[in-house]
Amino acid sequence: MTELSTRQLTKSYGDRPALEPLTLTIESGAKVALVGHNGSGKTTLMKMSAGLLEATGGSVQIGRHDAGTQEARRLLSWLSDMPTFYDDLSLWEHLEFVARLHGVTEWENRAEELLEQIGLTPRRDDIPTTFSRGLRQKAAITLAFVRPFKLMLVDEPFVGLDEPGKQALLRLFDAASSNGATLLIATHELSFVKQVGRLLALRDGELIYDGAPSDTDVHALVLPT
């Protein structure tokens, strides 16, 4: 079953194209890495898939639903590289709120488990807006994983993370993947690319590679023109 599909998806800002017509499908349970130089269109593609950005042309579907619809939002978890938090709620309250919004009533055990894994248990009652860059990223990770999802879109997840944080995140990816979730991860961490089954590469908004990471020189793919 297809979890994410785009059809002639395009985005331009004024006269400047950010994404050339893109047609692709990602099957359920796949773990896909998305690479490309800065400004290649990775975040644009992710945001359009999450429903945060309107396409100039074409369409995106999450499962069988148009991106951004209520059903699509139920299926999709979005982990941004620029996490945002309420400045008057603790991390624990954030977890409660996000989990319950997605219909999870028994959320406490899952939240405690995530905090433990990522190393934020001692900070659970603190306000995440006061956290350092790395801790904010960790807090955002717990929020992305505390709710159920079929597809997770992740933008630059390793930025600011220390080594234990990176390892914990990789374990969470593996667990989600083994539970049948689909992962699309945009990253500049080329060592991570070896761990996925499929690699997509964008250059100047154009898909220049779609295949196994082992069949290509990944470093050459991320060079700008």
Partner 1 sequence: MSDTALDVLYDLRRRRKRHRLGDIEWFDAAYRVYLVALFGGGTVLWISSAIGDETVSANAVADVARNGPALIGMVTMLALLAGMRSGAQGGPLALEAPDVTYVMLSPVDRMRALLRPVTQRVRSAASLGAVFGAIVGQLAGRRLPGAPVAWAASGTAFGIATALLWAGAALIAHAIRLPLWMATSLGLAGLAWQSAALAWHLPGPANQFGSLAMWGWRQHPIDLAAALIAAIVLLVGVGMLQQTSLDALARRSSLVAQLRFAVTMQDLRTVILLRRQLNQEQTRARPWLRVPRWISHPIPRRGIASVARFPATRLVRMTAFAAMAGVLQAMVMRGTTPALIGTAFMLFILGLEAMEPLSQEVDQPDRTDSLPIERGELLVRHLLAPAVALIPFAVVAAASAVVVLGTSRAIAPAAILALPTVLAGAAGGVVSIVRDAPDPTKNTQQTFVPPEMAGMSSALRVGLPILVSAIAASTILLVRHAERSGTSTTGAALRGAVAASLLILLVSYWVRRRDQWRRKFRQFMSDGQAYTKQQRSTS
Question: Where do contacts with partner 1 occur on this chain (CB under 8 A)?
Answer: 50-54, 68, 70-71, 73-74, 76, 78, 80, 83-86, 88-89, 93-94, 97-98, 100-103, 143
Q: Closer to partner 1 at the Cβ: 98 or 176?
A: 98
What DSSP element (H or E) covers 13? Answer: strand 2-13
Q: Closer to partner 1 at the Cβ: 115 or 222?
A: 115
CB of 157 to partner 1, least distance (A): 15
CB of 84 to partner 1, least distance (A): 4
Q: Give, to the nearest 10 degrees, the angle between helix 163-178 and helix 108-118.
A: 140
Q: Closer to partner 1 at the Cβ: 102 or 188?
A: 102
Q: Closer to partner 1 at the Cβ: 38 or 70?
A: 70
CB 186 within 8 A of CB 154: yes
- The span from the CA of 126 to the CA of 32, in Å, is 34
What DSSP element (H or E) covers 100? Answer: helix 91-101
- % helix, strand, coil for the chain, step of 5: 35, 30, 35
Q: Closer to partner 1 at the Cβ: 24 or 52?
A: 52
CB of 18 to partner 1, least distance (A): 13
CB of 103 to partner 1, least distance (A): 5
CB of 136 to partner 1, least distance (A): 12
CB 133 within 8 A of CB 121: no
Beta-strand relationship, 31-36 and 182-186: parallel
Q: Give, to the nearest 10 degrees, the angle between helix 108-118 and helix 91-101.
A: 130
Q: Closer to partner 1 at the Cβ: 115 or 196?
A: 115
CB of 36 to partner 1, least distance (A): 21
